[in-house]
Structure 1
Amino acid sequence: MAVGIVTASLPPTSTAVAKPDPSAHAISQYTTTSSRLAARLAIHTWNTHPESWFAWAGSRIPNSGSILEVGAGTGQLWRETPTTSATKLALTDFSPAMCEELRGLKDQVGAEVEVRQCGAEELPFEDQTFDVVVANHMLYHVNSPSAALAEFSRVLKPGGAAIIALNGMDHLDELLSLGEKIGRPSTIRNQARITAENARGYLDNVFGDIREERFPGAFEVGTVQPVVDYLGSLDDEGLDEIQVGIVKDVVGKKIEENGVFRVNKNMVLFSGRKL
């Protein structure tokens, strides 16, 4: 989910499939727990836009027919996106902990829900199964975005929609720059192969009629603790006393001066159709 990203390599010119595997970062962060993702999602509480990211993105996703979300995490998107009994929802994640969270959705949404544990680069579904495939801030967790996108296309019906959310290189820059200063850099920021800036080079190989829309606003954080929690989630251990002291000093001064600690966001929703 929402993390900052820096320079990513250009996509390959073909969609040749690499060995399917989530990134080492994803394995270490998400296999046994959903708490790290929850700490990062808490920053969204301070969104200046009147809609949450999930409500805003969800309103742009066709909500009828068969829908697959790959790398669905905690399933928050579907707690804020209306579905009906006519919606058939398939949710996947490589993480057992995340899949356990997703199974809890079955009693919380109107749609029929199926949960599968799998990676994005090898989906356990037949060709041309889904009307819509959603990838919400997860493609930077895979070793081969091209392989994942090829799988998305494979399981989509002809003319089916792909909805893909990605961050830009400057997303959460104020927050992650502070992390760099206290020795908690974002691993994703240095390893991502796909970002909002280079996404078209990947997507044009697989989908047509591609459109993009940036989520407006920023995060204006009113207390220090969400920043401490976010930066603490970037490693296996929370921040130590010295690191917490630095964060409290930097963020506290910003809040004292401006009323908030402002964090800019660069979240882009791409949509396209199967070629």
Structure 2
Amino acid sequence: MTTTLTAHAHAKDQYTTTSSRLAARLSIHNYNTAPQSWFEFAQTSIPKHGSILEVGAGTGALWSDTFPPSEIKSITSLTLTDFSPAMVETMSANPSIISLQSQLPVQILQCDATALPFPDSEFDTVIANHMLYHVDDPLSALSEFKRVLKTGGKLVVALNGLDHLKELFEVGELVGRGSTIAGLAKITAENAVEQITSVGFEGVDGQRFPGEFRLPGVEPVLRYLDSVGEADMEEEKREMVKKVVGERLDGEGVFRVGKNMVVFTGRKP
């Protein structure tokens, strides 16, 4: 399929040809202090019945847990999309996705979030997990989500707040690896309810993921900051990161990183 991709330039540079940067980002979740993983937390907001569409599904990580048959027996179909050919390729080879395909119809497509190739009122649930801030026109994407939802269908959107990973990006700014999303995102946890409501969704509400990340050493910081750029940091910058983070580790024993991750839900009237 040929599409006109409306992800902004940073997202195209980061994700079009590789899924490794996303994998590096996700590795910070190994140090989550909440009793649930992020994906377990997000899954509690997703109805396990009817037809489900996830837009911007990345590597398919949201579906990488093993689900008991009782949780998926009422799902009639699962459709996973992403703008990136590399993500679509990774999803298609994801063992968990392959396992799900033996239990229910699963379709994987490359497409644009603002021009979904589906008819009106096609899905019972539409999910956008940490992807809307990569879109130049998130209101157009939200309108598309509403279009393809059935009346009464549920929208599930996950977004970060502007202070998400604040401590990590404060270090990153010292070496030119600050948060690009903070400067580019047109939708964040702070304005999500207003924007989702503005396109006609009702009952919009958010649940914040509790806890923080506690990094035991400097390597997770280096790995994350490397993933922010197109190449790994130069040795001089890596040494600066080691020094700053090392001082924090000497004082507290861990490098604490705050998170602001919120799952918003709404309903198509």
Q: Pick the TM interval, shorter chain.
A: over 0.9
Q: Which runs of 5+ in 2 are unaligned?
A: none
Give the 3-state SS of the residue equivalent to 1:146 in structure 2. Answer: helix
1:232 to 202, 208, 226: 226
Q: Which residue of 1 aligns with 2:133?
A: 140
What percentage of aligned pairs have identical amino acids?
Answer: 53
**TM-fit CA distance, 1:113:** 1.1
**Alignment partners' CA distance in 1, 2:5 and 2:216:** 41
User: Residues 85, 102 of structure 1: CA spacing in aligned structure 2 closer, same or farther, 3 A cutoff?
Assistant: farther
How far is the alpha carbon of 1:81 from its aligned partner?
A: 6.9
* Unaligned residue ranges in structure 1 (runs of 5+): 1-18
Note the 1:134-173 alignment, pairs <5 A: 134-173=127-166
Question: Offset at 1:20?
Answer: 5.9
Q: Which residue of 2 aligns with 1:103?
A: 92
What amino acid does structure 1 have at the position aligned with 2:92?
Answer: R
Residue number in structure 2 paired with 1:15: none
Deviant stretches of 4+, over 3 Å: none
CA contact (8 A) 2:193 2:205 kept: no
Deviation track 1:88-121 (CA, whole Å, cap 9, x = no partner) reads 1100000000001111243233442100101111
- Larger relative contact order (Cα-Cα within 8 Å, sequence gap ≥ 6): 1
Equivalent residue number for residue 56 of structure 1: 41
Structure 1 position 142, deviation (Å): 0.4
Deviation digits for residues 126-168 of structure 1 (CA, Å, limit 9, x no counterpart): 1101000000010000010110000000000000000001111
Question: When the two structures are superposed, what TM-score results if normalisation uses the length of structure 2?
Answer: 0.92
Preserved CA contact (<8 Å) 1:85 1:112: no
Deviation at 1:40, TM superposition (A): 0.5
- CA distance in 2 between partners of 1:270 and 1:260 (Å): 31
Q: 2:29 and 2:35 mapped to 1: Cα distance?
A: 12
Instruction: Provide the C-alpha distance between the structure 2 equivalents of 1:148 and 1:157, rounded to a whole number of angstroms.
Output: 16
Residues 228 and 244 in structure 1, CA contact (< 8 A), matched pair in contact too = yes
Given that 2:5 and 2:83 are in contact with CA atoms closer than 8 Å, whether structure 1 keeps it comes out as: no
Q: Give 1 or 2: higher helix fraction.
A: 2
The aligned length equals 257
What does residue 255 of structure 1 align with? 249
Pairing partner for 2:14 from 2, 25, 29: 29
**1:68/1:90 contact within 8 Å kept:** yes
User: Distance in 2 between the 1:218 and 1:186 partners?
Assistant: 18
Task: Indicate whether 1:123 and 2:111 are aligned.
Answer: no
